[in-house]
A and B are shown apart, each in its own frame.
Chain A
Amino acid sequence: ETGVTQSPTHLIKTRGQQVTLRCSSQSGHNTVSWYQQALGQGPQFIFQYYREEENGRGNFPPRFSGLQFPNYSSELNVNALELDDSALYLCASSPRKGVGDTDTQYFGPGTRLTVL
């Protein structure tokens, strides 16, 4: 069974640029969540996708957007990068039987984004 994978592992961008991060969910998992972890902090929820629909969003501006594909993989897009966007971006997948279900979330290794 393949776990959650993320690409790329590291990325350096300059302020104002756009970035796309990718996540492949664990086999059999239909829900993907994205988190931002700044240095020395706990991860902060960005948004979640369940069966290709956004299913909850944290306190992040609209320039953070996402997609989930029919195979349940996902992308996180960030436009107009700011210095404060420098962080570890974590993707988590989980199996869900329905919108009201909750289950263990399994995390990928993360993408470390540096904005200069």
Chain B
Amino acid sequence: GIQVEQSPPDLILQEGANSTLRCNFSDSVNNLQWFHQNPWGQLINLFYIPSGTKQNGRLSATTVATERYSLLYISSSQTTDSGVYFCAVDDYNQGGKLIFGQGTELSVKP
């Protein structure tokens, strides 16, 4: 099955700093989503981005499907950005399930 790897596993930032999170996947995918999991466990949709670039406020994402990677950019980070960021891809060949990476745990210090 498809393998999803995220890097770095942990990241500590000072408030106001920028960061880039990476997601590599091992095969072609139909769907790629980025999520933020808050301390209460809620997975919040950030982007649905099988290819191309999208922006939403301080966040943006780029997926290069031909090279099998996606990047999530966080600019001017805030303490509320803390949490775990997951990348997930849709393995359509196995029933349309999402396969998640192990996540990047981000901690933004004031």
How many B residues face the partner with a CB closer than 8 A? 26
* B69 contacts across to A, CB distance below 8 A: none
Known: A102-B30, A105-B33. A56 touches B96 (CB 8 A): yes
* B86 contacts across to A, CB distance below 8 A: 42-43
Query: Which positions 21-64 of chain A face chain B at CB distance < 8 Å?
Result: 31, 33, 35, 37, 41-45, 48, 55-58
Taken together as a complex, chains A and B put the C-alpha atoms of A27 and B102 apart, in Å, by 30
* B45 contacts across to A, CB distance below 8 A: 104, 106-107
Known: A104-B45, A104-B48. A45 touches B97 (CB 8 A): yes
Interface residue SS majority, chain A: strand
> Is the Cβ of A102 less than 8 Å from the Cβ of B90?
yes
B99 at the interface (CB under 8 A from A): yes
Q: Which chain B residue lies CB-closest to A57?
A: B95
Taken together as a complex, chains A and B put the C-alpha atoms of A43 and B98 apart, in Å, by 9
Interface residues of B (CB under 8 A from A): 4, 30-31, 33, 35, 40-45, 48, 86, 88, 90, 92, 94-103
Known pairs A42-B103, A90-B43, A109-B42 / 14 extra A-B pairs, C-beta < 8 Å? A42-B4, A42-B88, A42-B100, A43-B43, A43-B88, A44-B100, A45-B99, A48-B95, A48-B97, A58-B97, A92-B43, A92-B98, A104-B48, A112-B41
